[in-house]
């Protein structure tokens, strides 16, 4: 606790030598940029575990019958895969990494509002991750309920559920603290003159996301506490034997988890809204429409959770209400797609790696979104619910959407974060291999689902064999592409050519500071004048 300090302005956050040395200089640092990298490396590790589990499932499904694992192992693998990917990767992903790194810089601040709380959130995140790992390594078998922890199975099964459920609760707490921190940061620390309508779009989406994190997560928090208590004490609320109602669990779970998918996708949309104008060298088309649709998504997203439960038992009125609302929420997403395309129209497009990722994002996101409408319509959902179609849908959205946006973002901001440029040829090769693999992996699942192949089974009928082989091959190609991308980035972070402060001619504030940024970001807090704006090309 020093009241004031002297921090040199010509030392980058990477080289800065503070009170602590070595690893401690990172895990005790309250610098938002270092915390962002802490998140990035922890997530990268967990992500690779998740990917390996995904590959294992695909290998199991390469042929009917038991290939490498039986039913129980498969159940455990898809559960842990889902828990890791959802609660540890895509929900916190973009806000914790890019939000942390760039939000303060993009709004012209030296740090977030509560730097210590920010570091604390990372520790909470790690604690949650460790709890989940404990549930896998110890006790009587890994969790096998699916990442949704549906009652009554989650309190009846003999496997080690409690640490996993508690881990998800703790991860949610971390997410709440991050959201809270960002809201206050945006309200209090914007540079003088940066009015709400001059704030860049990525901070805007972080803002919308932060509100969802704050308002939706507590509901799943209490729900997870209740299933745990049900398991330990038998309080009755979800146990039909004691008068409780398991469907109520589903409601409470999805009241959070549907808005949570917007926690995942909004910042992804924000990142895309930064990449597209920079590589089109053109003002973003319809800035206000993008902001309004962001807030609309955040708002309407609260009222559609029932579309996950059309087949669980609901009144007709509830069904079509949720269905109509689901169709409504698709509109703001479509508006954004039009905005991105119109931004490119007559722009001077430069075909760089981030742009490829962003363009393919739009493509897969549209397929994911349109298939969501198939699921949101009552008649068709009854038919494809709980089939491979659903798996294809959410992978196109969460992996195609959030994943591609993440890679667009990392290739866009990499020179800023590390002060070096990556090898663009390898980056592009990695992208195309990944993209092809992705399509081969998940597109067949649409077909399989329509043909009636259920999800969450380790086995299937012979008639589904061909498409499953294609899908498994796709998983290998995609992982190969992923390896190229990651190796290229790792090598370049160490030894790539030095990048300037503004390699892409971006107009937002992060491009006005040196790469990598100094500890305090700005020598002098920037001031936005009348004519200034984030996208004035």
Question: What residues line the site for Cu ion (CB under 5 A)?
Answer: 258
Is 449 one of the binding residues for ligand HEM (CB under 6 A)? no
Compute how many residues bind ligand HEM; rule: CB under 6 A: 26
CB contact burial 133-160 (16+ within 10 A = b; e otherwise): bbbbeebebbbbbbbbbbbbebbebebb
Nearer to Cu ion, 161 or 397 (CB): 397
Q: Which does 523 bind (CB under 5 to 8 A by kind): ligand HEM, Cu ion, other proteins, none?
A: other proteins
Alpha-carbon span 163 to 136, nearest angstrom: 9
Is 411 one of the binding residues for ligand HEM (CB under 6 A)? no
Nearer to other proteins, 61 or 224 (CB): 224
Candidates 134, 184, 337, 349: give the one binding other proteins (CB under 8 A). Answer: 184
Which residues make beta-bridge pairs with 12? 518
Is 116 one of the binding residues for other proteins (CB under 8 A)? no
Of 427, 411, 410, 422, residue with least CA distance to 498: 422
Query: Considering the complex, what minimum distance in angstroms separates the CB of residue 124 from ligand HEM?
Result: 21
Residue 42: cis peptide before it, omega within 30 degrees of 0: no
Query: Considering the complex, what minimum distance in angstroms separates the CB of residue 261 from Cu ion?
Result: 6
Tokens found for residue 323? 């269905």
Of 198, 165, 160, 173, residue with least CA distance to 76: 160
Of 218, 214, 191, residue with least CA distance to 203: 191
Q: 454: which DSSP letter? A: B
Candidates 80, 88, 176, 408: give the one binding other proteins (CB under 8 A). Answer: 176
Name residue, tokens 């959410």.
394
Which residues, 6+ apart, have CB-to-CB distance to 440 below 8 Å? 470, 471, 473, 474, 477, 478
Name residue, tokens 């009222």.
303
Query: Considering the complex, what minimum distance in angstroms separates the CB of residue 418 from other proteins?
Result: 21
| C-alpha separations of 491 from 274, 289, 410 in Å | 25, 40, 14
Nearer to ligand HEM, 389 or 504 (CB): 389
27-46 positions binding ligand HEM, by CB under 6 A: none
Q: How would you write 381-438 as a 3-class SS string?
A: HHHHCCEHHHHHHHHHHHHHHHHHHHHHHHHHHHHHHHCECCCHHHHHHHHHHHHHHH
Is 456 one of the binding residues for ligand HEM (CB under 6 A)? yes
Which residues make beta-bridge pairs with 420? 498
Nearer to Cu ion, 302 or 426 (CB): 302
Instruction: Report the residue number whose CB is nearest to ligand HEM.
Output: 54
Query: Considering the complex, what minimum distance in angstroms separates the CB of residue 269 from ligand HEM?
Result: 15
Candidates 223, 428, 479, 515: give the one binding ligand HEM (CB under 6 A). Answer: 479
Query: Considering the complex, what minimum distance in angstroms separates the CB of residue 113 from other proteins?
Result: 5
104-163 positions binding ligand HEM, by CB under 6 A: 146-147
Which residues make beta-bridge pairs with 302? none
Compute how many residues bind other proteins; rule: CB under 8 A: 48
Is 11 one of the binding residues for other proteins (CB under 8 A)? yes
Alpha-carbon span 396 to 379, nearest angstrom: 22
Is 333 one of the binding residues for other proteins (CB under 8 A)? no
Contact segment (CB under 6 A) with ligand HEM among 181-189, 249-257, 394-402, 425-433 equals 394-402
Q: Which does 258 bind (CB under 5 to 8 A by kind): Cu ion, ligand HEM, other proteins, none?
A: Cu ion
Query: Considering the complex, what minimum distance in angstroms separates the CB of residue 443 from Cu ion?
Result: 21
| C-alpha separations of 99 from 34, 36, 125, 204 in Å | 12, 8, 16, 11
Candidates 234, 454, 497, 500: give the one binding other proteins (CB under 8 A). Answer: 234
What does 101-167 look like in DSSP terms, one character per residue? HHHHHHTT-SS-S-HHHHHHHHHHHHHHHHHHHHHHHSSSS---STTTT-TTHHHHS-S-HHHHHHH
Is 217 one of the binding residues for ligand HEM (CB under 6 A)? no
55-74 positions binding ligand HEM, by CB under 6 A: 55, 57-58
Is 206 one of the binding residues for other proteins (CB under 8 A)? no
H-run or E-run covering 485: helix 465-495
Candidates 180, 378, 436, 470: give the one binding other proteins (CB under 8 A). Answer: 180
Name residue, tokens 């971390």.
174
Candidates 86, 171, 210, 375: give the one binding ligand HEM (CB under 6 A). Answer: 86
- Judged by DSSP in three states, 218 sits in helix
Report phi then psi at 518, rounded to 5: -70, 165
Query: Considering the complex, what minimum distance in angstroms separates the CB of residue 494 from other proteins?
Result: 25
Query: Considering the complex, what minimum distance in angstroms separates the CB of residue 301 from Cu ion?
Result: 8
Query: Considering the complex, what minimum distance in angstroms separates the CB of residue 244 from other proteins?
Result: 7
Q: Which does 439 bind (CB under 5 to 8 A by kind): Cu ion, ligand HEM, other proteins, none?
A: none
Is 473 one of the binding residues for ligand HEM (CB under 6 A)? no
> What residue ranges bind ligand HEM (CB under 6 A)?
51, 54-55, 57-58, 78-79, 81-82, 85-86, 89-90, 146-147, 391, 395, 398-399, 402-403, 455-456, 475, 478-479
> What residue ranges bind other proteins (CB under 8 A)?
1-11, 110-111, 113-115, 117, 176, 180-181, 183-184, 187-188, 214-215, 217-219, 221-223, 225-226, 229, 233-237, 242-245, 248, 252, 520, 523
């Amino acid at each position: 606790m020093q009241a004031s300090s002297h921090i040199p302005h010509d030392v980058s956050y990477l080289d800065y030598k503070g009170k602590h040395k070595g690893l401690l200089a990172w895990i005790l640092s309250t610098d938002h940029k270092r915390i962002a990298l802490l998140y990035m490396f922890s997530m990268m590790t967990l992500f690779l575990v998740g990917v390996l589990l995904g590959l294992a499932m695909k290998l199991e499904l390469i042929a009917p019958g038991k290939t490498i694992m039986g039913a129980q192992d498969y159940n455990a693998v898809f559960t842990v895969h889902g828990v890791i990917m959802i609660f540890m990767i895509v929900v916190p992903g973009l806000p914790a990494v890019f939000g942390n790194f760039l939000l303060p810089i993009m709004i012209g601040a030296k740090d977030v509002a509560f730097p210590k709380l920010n570091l604390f959130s990372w520790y909470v995140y790690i604690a949650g991750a460790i709890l989940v790992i404990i549930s896998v390594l110890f006790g009587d078998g890994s969790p096998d309920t699916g990442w949704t922890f549906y009652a009554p199975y989650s309190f009846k099964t003999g496997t080690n559920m409690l640490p996993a459920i508690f881990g998800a609760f703790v991860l949610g707490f971390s997410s709440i603290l991050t959201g809270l921190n960002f809201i206050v940061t945006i309200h209090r620390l914007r540079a003088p003159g940066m009015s709400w309508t001059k704030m860049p779009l990525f901070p805007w989406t972080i803002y919308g996301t932060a509100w969802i994190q704050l308002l939706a997560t507590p509901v799943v928090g209490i729900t997870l506490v209740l299933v745990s208590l049900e398991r330990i004490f038998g309080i009755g609320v979800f146990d039909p034997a004691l008068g409780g109602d398991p469907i109520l669990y589903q409601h409470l779970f999805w009241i959070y988890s549907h808005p949570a998918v917007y926690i995942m996708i909004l910042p992804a949309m924000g990142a895309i809204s930064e990449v597209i104008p920079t590589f089109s060298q053109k003002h973003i088309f319809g800035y206000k429409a993008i902001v309004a649709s962001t807030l609309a998504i955040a708002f309407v997203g609260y009222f559609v959770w029932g579309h996950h439960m059309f087949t669980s038992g609901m009144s007709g009125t509830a069904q079509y209400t949720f269905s109509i609302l689901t169709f409504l929420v698709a509109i703001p997403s479509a508006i954004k797609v039009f905005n991105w395309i119109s931004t490119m129209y007559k722009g001077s497009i430069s075909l760089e790696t981030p742009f490829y990722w962003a363009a393919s994002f739009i493509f897969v996101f549209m397929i994911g979104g349109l298939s969501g409408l198939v699921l949101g319509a009552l008649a068709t959902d009854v038919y494809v619910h709980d089939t491979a179609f659903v798996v294809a849908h959410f992978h196109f959205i969460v992996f195609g959407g959030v994943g591609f946006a993440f890679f667009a973002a990392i290739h866009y901001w990499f020179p800023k974060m590390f002060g070096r440029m990556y090898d663009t040829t390898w980056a592009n090769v990695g992208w195309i291999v990944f993209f092809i693999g992705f399509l081969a992996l998940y597109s067949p699942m649409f077909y399989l689902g329509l043909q009636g192949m259920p999800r969450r089974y380790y086995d299937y009928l012979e008639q589904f064999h061909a498409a499953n082989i294609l899908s498994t091959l796709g998983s290998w190609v995609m992982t190969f592409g992923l390896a190229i991308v990651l190796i290229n980035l790792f090598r370049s972070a160490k030894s790539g050519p030095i990048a300037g402060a503004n390699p892409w001619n971006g107009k937002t504030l992060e491009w006005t500071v040196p790469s990598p940024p100094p500890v305090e970001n700005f020598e002098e807090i920037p001031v936005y004048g009348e004519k200034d704006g984030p996208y004035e090309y």
